[in-house]
Amino acid sequence: MAKRVTGPEIEKLIQLLAKVPGLGPRSARRAALHLIKKKDQLLGPLSLAMGEAYDKVKICSRCGNVDTSDPCTVCTDIRRDHSMLIICEDVSDLWALERAGAMNAAYHVLGGTLSPLDGVGPDDLNIRALVDRVSEGTVKEIIIAVNATVEGQTTAHYITDQLSDFNVKITRLAHGVPVGGELDYLDEGTLTAALRARTAI
């Protein structure tokens, strides 16, 4: 914008909103105006909620989840089956798996994948804590739910290797056709995997 049309505080708000994923420079402007119009219903409460999250948010020292308590809501949930542990790359994956609601398990968030090119080694991930956790003896099955990428699979192999001394069953997510997906749009690798892992009707 060539000339200033509003105060520096509002420009600052727009600049920061533009850094939120899902918003760009243009939608940040729209969002800022909407927030200002809904000052008491949205801008005020959101400012407070952000401040509170800023003050209270913690990374769970046990599983790596994001929460305001440590250990987190998942780790302290006694209704869960803590003998089953789902390993995922990121907190967003944990939340996505929980939305599916298929399992009543505990989780362990790695915080990334092994990636030698980016300088990410085993010590940069939450793997040592995982080994310690498994060595406690409670965990009976580990489901490795990392992304189906090269880095994800490398990480899965490394973890399997690290846990080979423990008496735990290690599984991974099935590969196949996404539910609702059309075969025409799928890559050859997925189709091959789906054919090989075909199941009886």
> What are the residues binding a copy of itself (CB under 8 A)?
1-10, 12-13, 16-17, 19-23, 27, 29-36, 38-39, 42-47, 49-54, 56-57, 65-69, 72-74, 77, 79, 90-92, 94-95, 98-99, 101
Closer residue to a copy of itself in complex, CB, 22/180: 22
If you ran DSSP here, which 8-state letter would residue 78 be given?
Answer: T
- Within a 13 Å sphere around the CA of 169, how many CA atoms are in the beta-carbon half? 5
Rg (CA), the chain: 22
Tell me the closest approach of the beta carbon of residue 3 to a copy of itself, in angstroms.
Answer: 7
Closer residue to a copy of itself in complex, CB, 7/116: 7
Using CB atoms within 10 A of its CB, is residue 80 exposed (0-12), middle (13-18) or buried (19+)? middle
126 touches 83 (CB < 8 A): no
Tell me the closest approach of the beta carbon of residue 48 to a copy of itself, in angstroms.
Answer: 8
Closer residue to a copy of itself in complex, CB, 21/180: 21
